[in-house]
Chains A and B, each alone.
Chain A
Amino acid sequence: MSTFTTAAATMQQLSQAGMEEASRHGLRVGDLEHLFAALVLNDQLAGRALRAIGLSLEGVRDATHRMNAAHLQRLRVTTMTAEPQRIVFQETRGYEWTPRAMDVLTAAGGKNAGDAEAVLRALLIEPSGLMNDLLAHLDTSADAVRTALAAEAAQPTPLSNGTLKSPDKRGVLVEIFVPAPSAAVWSLLADPARLPEWHYLIGSVEVDTAAEIVPGVIWAVLAPTHQPDGTPVRVKERFRRHQMQLLVIEQPNRISWRSSYPDFPRRRAIELSIQITAVAGGCQVRATSSGTPGPTWKTLLFSPLHPLKRFLDWISLTQITAGISRAFR
């Protein structure tokens, strides 16, 4: 994976997770503590190193709350901070990073790798002192994190092959860390009635409760008609109905579907495969998505657009995997 691709993918993943954290607190501006929370969730080396020293999303949230309470107390401000709400990032707009958080992200790029490790290293030397403060509330330190990074770098890479392409080269691949036990993630993914909880293109499922959940079974699925906040969603009629066919179900860690549009048969079917692996503090979810191959002439004709199409497919798969992670946050 090129430095540019790495940096773009990292920025997209950290920005989404960081802004989701900010949105829980009624904020539309993400700051250093939200970026750090996003790093703890990250599937790259940086996230693995942080989790290896016992850090978790809940721990970071709790430490941030205690740190902010101590700050307000220092100013002799007595106020009740509002309880965090659910994540509303997907249904609100106008998000941005604070200038100092942008400085960290910018410093991680340039001559550096632009990956999550570079972001974490830049965060550890940010000049405000907030990170040292937060790490102290987590009973750790910047040096301990650097040591963990070095130790993790010496480990063999567990799953990621460092590419956005799926192993069959036809599709795209996204790996994420989910802060929940693999059994809980499996329960979410293997239950067709729960598809709308994590798949952003699915609003409702017609499930025949008597039908056995075996490979080949097909569920009728409808696109969402409303956002979680009630805003209507406009969907073209031909994309309103889907069919989700279960291709593989290997309890407790591998599941695969093929989705197609019965009202738009020319549209290629998409295969989505998900594999779950238990890791420290949660599980690793590896998702691949690929379209069924079209005619050769069409493949050749549109070959110049392949990089763009691959990127759009990757963004779509990122939304799906983010939905799985969000279901546990």
Chain B
Amino acid sequence: MENDDTAEAAAAGDDPKSGLRAVVALRAHADALELREVEAALRVGLSWSEIAAALGVTRQAVHKKYHRRIDPTIPVPRRNP
């Protein structure tokens, strides 16, 4: 993605709202990818802490966002087994 491209699109008379909607679509796409990657990481045995570190967020944040959303058949690691 380049700033020139975005400026070019705007100069071409594109609706600026269209660009903003495009960002929303990209965010939804990223969300779907993130859920898929979190599930893949849990399947190979990564802990919530390791996933959080890789995503650059806190363990609490990643756990809160995904613990109910992931495929329930994935064995989820517990901090105090």
Interface of A toward B, CB cutoff 8 Å: 25-29, 31, 67-68, 71-72, 74-77, 79, 81-82, 88, 91-94, 128-130, 133, 227, 229-231
Contact = CB atoms under 8 A, between A and B. Distances in A.
B12 to A, nearest CB: 10
B9 A74 contact: yes
Given A75-B26, A130-B21, A82 B72 contact: no
Contacts of A27: 28, 31-32, 35
A68 B69 contact: no
A79 B69 CA distance: 24
Contacts of A230: 73
The secondary structure that dominates the A interface is loop
A229 B67 CA distance: 17
A242 B29 CA distance: 44
Nearest to B22: A71
What is the interface residue range for chain B against chain A?
20 to 34
Given A71-B22, A128-B17, A92 B32 contact: no
B68 interface: yes
A67 B18 CA distance: 11
B22 A74 contact: yes
Given A133-B18, A230-B73, 8 more contacts: A27-B32, A27-B35, A68-B28, A75-B19, A75-B23, A77-B1, A91-B72, A229-B72
Contacts of A91: 71-72
A71 B25 CA distance: 7
B14 interface: yes
Contacts of A130: 21, 24
Given A129-B17, A129-B18, A76 B5 contact: yes
B73 A231 contact: yes
Contacts of A82: 32-33, 36
A128 B9 CA distance: 19
Contacts of A74: 9, 14, 18-19, 22
The interface centre, meaning the residue of B6, B15, B69, B73 with most chain A CB atoms within 10 A of its CB, is: B69
